[in-house]
Structure 1
Amino acid sequence: MEFGKSYWYSYEQGSSREWIITNGIGGYASGSLICSNSRRYHGLLIAALKPPTSRHLLLANLLEDLVLEDGTHVTLSSFKSSDGYINQGFNNLQRVSYDYFPQFVYSYEDIFIKKKIAMKTGENTTVVQYEIRNGSRAASFKLSPLVNYRDHHHQSKGCYLNFNMSINENEIGLSPKVSDVMLKLSTSTGKFISFDSCYFYNMLYALEQERGLDSFEDHFMPGYFIMELKPFECKTISFAATTENYGSGAINAGDVIREEERRLSELLDKKKYKNRLCRRLVLAADNFIVYRKSTDSKTVIAGYPWFTDWGRDTMIAFEGLTLVTGRYEDAKDILYTFSRYVKNGLIPNMFPDDGQQPAYNSVDAALWYFEAVYNYLEYTQDYSFVKEKIYSCLKEIFIGFRDGTVFDIRMTADGLITAGNPGTQLTWMDAKVGDWVVTPRHGKAVEINALWYNGLMIMSSLAKKFDDRDIYSNLAKKVKASFDKEFWNGADNCLYDVVNDFGKDPSIRPNQIMAVGLSYAVIEGDKAGSVVEKVWKELYTPYGLRTLSKGNPQYKGTYSGDVWSRDGAYHQGTVWTWPLGRFIKAYVRVNGSNEEARRNALDFVLPFINHLKDAGLGSISEIFDGNSPYYPRGCFAQAWSVSEILRAAVEDVQIENFNDI
């Protein structure tokens, strides 16, 4: 991906796109296209102190400056302060390229500077490599670190930023007085000049201001690194920020970058996709698969920059992130980990970090687990692992749903699943502000029962494979008949969203597409075709499916404002990308699963090629506005958005067969 000056004619334009680099344990580095900090989650080192959580901002940014021999001061840094001042280093930014990592190329008169940023996998370590081609005058290059110590969800004021500091030529150690964390900053050359109690005050985060949140922050400035440049000298400078114990000496940024590029190249080689969208999404997928210390296993970060790992998101994203990418060992690890924590027929929706019991407040996570196991077998044929480690857990989930479990989750006399009560939200449409449940969906939810039928069919196939008694197929037939009776909305030729004591909710939502878009469809034929047509006509947008039809009086087409406004729109019209993957599967299925259907389905995938250069570079956003121009919102990199578009492109569209794309 290449970006030129037309992407940053102004500070606001340049700071609207964002990049992220991750370290495989929940930590990350992130910033805007012009390397400004435009949200609280931007920084060069956000360390995961309890992988993959307890994420803390340690290094917000580096102020980069050239000082020429005649005293001319040239800034490369871009930021905005509370008084409206804009530091316009982006005027000296010539271009940005993004392959494995972002590279920024600056030029001033006859001087060129290339900057590349990377993180070391498995460590809270960020490196920056500068390649400087100096011009005809002697100059000095200054790096002034903006240091912090706070949870990445919060913001700091200077009076609370107190550090113990040690200096050794071109290396400094900083330890916040409220913690035993040690941050080491070093360069490969030059020396460090310390300041006396210096702070950067009132950096403005415009994206937080837009979200109705506190938007100003202070940073501690311990001093600056300075490197001398001779006329026409070419110099490579390594900068590193780390919490790891490397002893004395600088970390070589070039070595880290080459090691990480090799690792990512090997990930691409697992499947050798030729299509550029698929290759980019394979790299994006890598950001979400991380190590969790408390379970000593792999897990999935739901979205960057603010989500952690969630059971539901992990199961929905499972196939695209681990199977389509060829990461079968990671897939196996995730399945086994969740099997160890099955309780009351449920899998965890969230793992804690301090020894508490996992949270199980999800009705759909366990049902998506069936789909994940089924697809793992489709890719690997690893039946021995499933029989030995997973099958008994699947049976436990089945019994929990059939006989009833916590959160009022139980099977009713007609074979369908009901769950929750008016005060709970157990499905993925779980926005709640205070006591306000925005989209109450207790009772029989359409996608829950589609997943239930899918799970029963999967259990039936496994029982036969393992020579076990098949107690599932007859129940599946009953569920299928009851589903048609309860959920078919003949007036609108589609499915009701929820059935409960208050009646049948005719709201047109994307949940009904699961009845056609899972491995085993609970409805078929003309009715399945009608559901796909209804969803396409009323919910489809270029970047996903609206969560509510525009014709509904509760529809909200813009996701913006404070938390009440945003959560009030979250599932009331806001577009989500991940259900589009299941829509594509359903579309291809009802149209014959032939080449013509797949070529037509390309039109649902191709808009994401352009989106990769918008919002979160190289990734797919969590949500979009329901109204045109469908502005990207929420997390700028979301696991199930990436996974479902990659899965649909590879499996359903079979995009690799279309050489003209």
Structure 2
Amino acid sequence: MKFGKKDWTSYDRGIEKEWMLTNGISGFCGGTVIGANCRKYQGLLVACTNSPEERYMILSNLNEEINIDGKLHQLSSCKYTDKIVDGFKNLQGFYYDGLPHLRFFVDGVVINKKVAMEYGKNTVVIEYDILNGSKESKINIEPLFTFRNPGVCSGEENLKFSKTVDKNKIKLIPQLNKDINIRFFTYGGKIVDKTDEIVDKIYYDVDKSTGDKFVDKCYIPGTVEINLSPKERKKVYLLCTIENEENFHCEKIIENEERRINNLKNTFDDSRILAKYLPIAGDQFIVNRESIKGKTILAGYPWFLDWGRDAMIAINGLTLSTGRLEDAKDIIRSFSLYEKDGLIPNMFPGEGQEPLYNTVDASLWFINAVYNYLLYANSCEALEFVEKEVYKTIKNIIKAYKEGTKFSIKMDEEDSLINAGSGLDQVTWMDVRVNGIVVTPRHGKPVEINALWYNALKIAALLKDKFEKEEKNEYEELAKKVKASFTKAFWNEDGKYLYDVVNNNEKDNSLRPNQIWAVSLPFTMLDREKEKYIVQKVFEELYTPYGLRSLSRDHKDYHGIYIGKLFDRDMAYHQGTTWAFPLGGFFTAYCKVNDYSKEAVDLVDSLMSDMEDHIKDQCLGSIAEIFDGDNPYKARGCYAQAWSVGEMLRVYYEDILGNHKKLKKVHKDIFI
């Protein structure tokens, strides 16, 4: 992806596009295409000492300038409360190929800058490839340090370090944590010690717009000087780390990361942006979790950790569709081990603490993930793994949902449908609670939960036949009862769509995207005519180019813009805000009800190209969590979200490339 001066005609334009790198252990690095930070979460080294928790902002940014024959020119860009440093005026180009590349041109001097993180390490490398002009010049670089939570602006206590400086290394130990050893190296430049300096009034536009603290400060311990003779060509490296190592090879770190990223880019034999960049984005969410000694999926950057629901929805696209079967197996094993009372963790806490289980759908999505894993793996080894390590968990889930478990989750014995939630419980994905208000309570029988319940029963029935081979299959019998009840309970004949929640005699006719999974899941209950009505209704009233609205625009509680302070945003979060991940269910449902005709697949393919426009926009190469429900559907929330990326990868692999046919054949080979 290439960008030029038209993309940063002003500072405000220049901060619209962001980039992010990750290191596989929940550390990350990011900024904007002009090099400025527009939010407090951005920095050149956000280290993680206990993945995926205990993140620290270490190296916030670099102040860069070049002195050519006595005249100063800015290279870096930064907004302060009282001024804007406009180095973007000397920025000629920005290129993203999985790593960010910035090209500056100043009075005959060409500077190419590249940033990379070392995979598996809390280390970042910045490369400067410089071709000097006809005059002597000197580049000065000031590293901006802090030691803080990435989500909180620095106070005085975050800027207190013990410091050691020599000609090519700065060593800092933060007073808040003396076990952290921060080191900053230059290779090809010279470090000049200076009186400790605090730079303040750093202004973050995104945080200002959301009502958060938006003015930051950083600590400058020294300056890197790069002296250049006329016409000299020089490569200089900066490296910042908290690793306890002595010998670093900057070129090797960059080469290894370029090789790793190129392998991800070649996951699919297709040149389109979605196929090249979403495997890279997907990789960023798959990390190690120290507390369980296994792989997990982060829900989103820059602030979400791992959530069970998100992981079980994202796993299909992030791992299976990209050929990462061992990662999928590891993630399934991790969540299976922590099943309790029939519930899969909604969130893992720190080591030694109990997981949180406040979710009704994560366990059902887990069963769906296991089924998909078996189809993709298509091996005796996968079946053996599921039989020995996972099948018991699935049986526990079905039993608990049938007999009753926490959060009022229990099957109604009369119609075999699942009830869930009461009081202040938030157990579906529409889970906001703010100031004691549950904005979308959805207590009772939510439509997607019962679609998932039937799907889970059908999968459990297949596994029981495979592993136990008994004449009577109670899961199949129960699935028949659910199917007989579902249409009667949920079909809205007047509106030709499904009620969102049924609670005793009350039926919520709010038009929401949750019904789409009653069409898109592997095992469904409705006749084709009703499925077509649902898909058309969702297409007409909820579809946007970047996702599905969480509520119809015609509803009295619709909020079309997700902006303002936290309370205002929470009130809009599931009340009209567009979500990217349900778009995957919609695309699959559209293909299914049209029997995967060429016209249907071509339409979905063309609609996905709209998402490719977004992939080139906010967080380059990735897909945001949410968007406004109103045109122009501005991206909001997390700038990179696992299930948003995962669902587009799944649709691309299964529906666009046609692999749904292969998976259907594998199903027959395994289970019939």
What residue in structure 1 maps to residue 98 of structure 2?
100
SS in 2 for 1:287: helix
Deviation at 1:269, TM superposition (A): 4.2
Letter in 1 for 2:620: L
Letter of the structure 1 residue corresponding to residue 95 of structure 2: S
Letter in 2 for 1:133: L
| 1:488-538 alpha-carbon deviations (Å, 9 max, x no partner) | 111101100011147110000000001001111222311111111111111
- TM superposition shift of 1:378: 0.8
Q: Deviation digits for residues 102-157 of structure 1, max 9, x if unmatched?
A: 10000001100001101111111111111000011111121100000001111113
**For the residues of structure 1 that align with 2:189 and 2:229, how far apart are their CA atoms?**
13
Q: 2:620 aligns with which of 609, 614, 617?
A: 617
Q: What's 1:48 paired with? A: 48
**Partner in structure 1 of residue 390 of structure 2:** 390
Alpha-carbon distance, 1:167 to partner:
1.4
- Per the TM alignment, residue 646 of structure 1 is displaced from its structure 2 partner at its CA by 1.4
Query: Is the 1:158–1:199 contact (alpha carbons within 8 Å) kept by the matching residues of 2?
Result: no
**Counterpart of 1:521 in 2: which secondary structure?**
coil
Structural mapping, 1:58-73, within 5 Å: 58-68=58-68, 70-73=69-72
Judged with a 3 Å threshold, the aligned counterparts in structure 2 of structure 1 residues 127 and 438 are, in CA distance, closer, same or farther, namely same
The answer for the alignment partner of 1:424 in structure 2 is 425
| Residues 656 and 499 (structure 1), Cα distance of their counterparts in 2 relative to 1, 3 Å cut | closer
Determine helix, strand or coil for the equivalent of 2:560. Answer: coil
Q: 1:280 matched to which residue of 2?
A: 277
Residue in 1 aligned with 2:604?
601
Correspondence 1:358 to 2:355: yes
More displaced stretch, 543-552 vs 194-203: 194-203
Match of 1:258 in 2: 255
**Shift in Å, 1:656:** 9.6
Q: Is the aligned partner of 1:412 residue 2:412? A: yes
Aligned residue for 2:629, secondary structure, equals coil
2-structure distance, mates of 1:358, 1:291: 17
In angstroms, what is the RMSD of aligned CA positions?
A: 1.4
Partner residue, 2:129: 131
Unaligned ranges ≥5, structure 1: none
Matched, 1:628 2:631: yes
* Residue matched to 1:82: 81
Residue 189 (structure 1) shift: 2.1
1:317 aligns with 2:314: yes
- Preserved CA contact (<8 Å) 1:211 1:560: yes
Q: CA–CA distance in 2 between the matches of 1:252 and 1:104?
A: 22
Give the structure 2 partner of residue 327 of structure 1: 324
Structure 1 residue 384: Cα displacement: 1.3
- Amino acid of the structure 2 residue aligned with 1:287: Q
Report what 1:240 is aligned to: 239
1:160, CA displacement in angstroms?
4.6
Is residue 2:532 matched to residue 1:548? no
Note if contact 2:77-2:85 (Cα within 8 Å) is conserved in structure 1.
yes
Q: Which string of whole-angstrom CA distances, capped at 9 and with x for unpartnered residues, describes residues 236-293 of structure 1?
A: 011101000112x5x3332111101112223344554454311211111011101111
Q: Are positions 1:532 and 2:532 aligned together?
A: no
Question: Is the Cα contact below 8 Å between 2:188 and 2:235 reproduced in 1?
Answer: no
> How far apart, in 1, do the equivalents of 2:172 and 2:658 lie?
50
**Selected match of 1:572 from 575, 595, 619:** 575
CA deviation digits over 1:608-648, x for unaligned, max 9? Answer: 11111111111111111101111111111111111101111
Equivalent residue for 2:148?
A: 150
Q: 1:140 to 1:502 in 2, by over 3 A?
A: farther
Q: Which moved more, 1:72-81 or 1:598-607?
A: 598-607
Deviates more, 1:326-335 or 1:521-530: 521-530
**What is the rounded CA distance, in whole Å, between the counterparts of 2:181 and 2:67 in structure 1?**
31
Q: In structure 1, the residue corresponding to 2:140 is in which secondary structure?
A: strand
Aligned to 1:437: 438
1:385-424, Cα deviation, whole Å (9 max, x unpaired): 1111111111111111111111111111111000110311
2:308 counterpart letter in structure 1? G
Q: 1:623 to 1:75 in 2, by over 3 A?
A: same
1:330 counterpart letter in structure 2? D
How has the CA–CA distance of structure 1 residues 3 and 188 changed in structure 2, closer, same or farther, with 3 Å as cutoff?
same
Following superposition, the deviation at residue 440 of structure 1 comes to 1.1
Q: Could you tell me how far apart the structure 2 residues matched to 1:434 and 1:416 are?
A: 31
User: Partners in 2 of 1:34 and 1:535 — Cα distance?
Assistant: 39
> Quick check: 2:146–2:158 contact (8 Å CA) kept in 1?
no
Structure 1 match to 2:565: 562
Counterpart Cα distance in 2 of 1:366 and 1:121: 31
Distance 1:47 1:436 in 2: 35
**Residue 446 of structure 1: CA displacement?**
0.3
Q: 1:498 aligns with which of 493, 496, 501?
A: 501
Cα shift at 1:173:
0.6
Unaligned runs of 5+ in 2: 661-672
**One-letter amino acid matched to 1:202:** K
Paired residues of 2:171 and 2:183 also in contact (CA < 8 A): yes
1:65/1:141 contact within 8 Å kept = yes
CA–CA distance in structure 1, aligned partners of residues 558 and 170 of structure 2: 54
CA contact (8 A) 1:275 1:655 kept: no
Kept in 1, the 8 Å contact 2:38–2:205? The answer is yes
List per-residue Cα deviations over 1:566-605 (Å, max 9, x = no partner). 1110000000010010011111111112222211222321
2:196 corresponds to 1:184? no
TM-score, normalised relative to structure 1: 0.97
Q: 2-side partners of 1:336 and 1:359: how far apart?
A: 18
Quick check: 2:265–2:275 contact (8 Å CA) kept in 1? no
- The reply to whether residue 455 of structure 1 matches residue 438 of structure 2 is no
Q: Which residue of structure 2 aligns with residue 14 of structure 1?
A: 14
Q: Which amino acid in 2 is paired with 1:357?
A: E
Equivalence for 2:89: 91
Counterpart amino acid of residue 106 in structure 1: F
Alignment correspondent of 1:647: 650
Whichever residue aligns with residue 570 of structure 1, its letter is Y
In 1, are the aligned partners of 2:57 and 2:147 still within 8 Å (CA)?
yes
Provide the secondary structure at the position in 1 that maps to 2:474: coil
How many angstroms apart in 1 are the aligned matches of 2:249 and 2:141? 17
Whole-angstrom CA distance in 2 between matches of 1:228 and 1:181? 32
Contact 2:295 2:327 in 1 (8 A): yes
Q: Deviations over 1:313-362 (max 9, x none)?
A: 00000100000111111001000111111100001111111311111111
Cα contact 1:158–1:219 (8 A) shared by 2: no
Question: CA–CA distance in 1 between the matches of 2:361 and 2:262?
Answer: 35
Tell me the equivalent position of 2:663: none
TM-score by length of 2: 0.95
Maintained 8 Å contact 1:188/1:252: no
For the 8 Å contact 1:2–1:95, the answer to whether it is kept is yes
String of CA shifts for 1:45-85, please: whole Å, max 9, x gaps: 001121111111000001111112x31111101001112x0
Distance 1:4 1:97 in 2: 9
Q: Are 1:336 and 2:307 matched, yes or no?
A: no
